[in-house]
Structure 1
Amino acid sequence: MPEHVSILIWFGVVVPAALIVACAIGLAGYRFGLRFEIRRRHHPGLSALPHQRGSGPHREYVELTPAERAAFAGLMRQLSDGH
């Protein structure tokens, strides 16, 4: 240790540096533990949610009359002209 540097200055450098290193290690450990906890808690099937079907809802198909098709085409033209 150089003679012209006070011991208080060394403590002023070493103590905050040690605290920063300790906090970094603690936060890294906390993050790793949290990630491990989330993975451990993840269950493939949650009992609170109902079982989901593999397929979507039943599709409905309605045959449109020519007048309904023309009205729909007119509506689409109006909407496309607005943009």
Structure 2
Amino acid sequence: MPAHVSLLLLFGVVLPAALVLFCAVGLAGYRFGLRLEIRHRHPGGIVRPVLPAQRRAGPHREYVDLTPAERAAFAGLARQLGEGY
């Protein structure tokens, strides 16, 4: 190590360079499909879906009748929100 190069300066160059190298290797492995983890096989070759089956219809709708005073209050609130207050 040269005498005029401080230890902090050396770490300031070597540490980021090592991080860039590790990130490049990791991204290359991800990009080219190199999997380092252990693959678990399902018994009997059955592959289970990641997400459960989804319903086609949404939840039932709830409906509440509003009184004229409640409708007027809601309309006033909507106007206030629309004006930016």
TM range (shorter): 0.3 to 0.5
Which structure has the greater CA radius of gyration? Answer: 1
Give the TM-score normalised by structure 2.
0.40
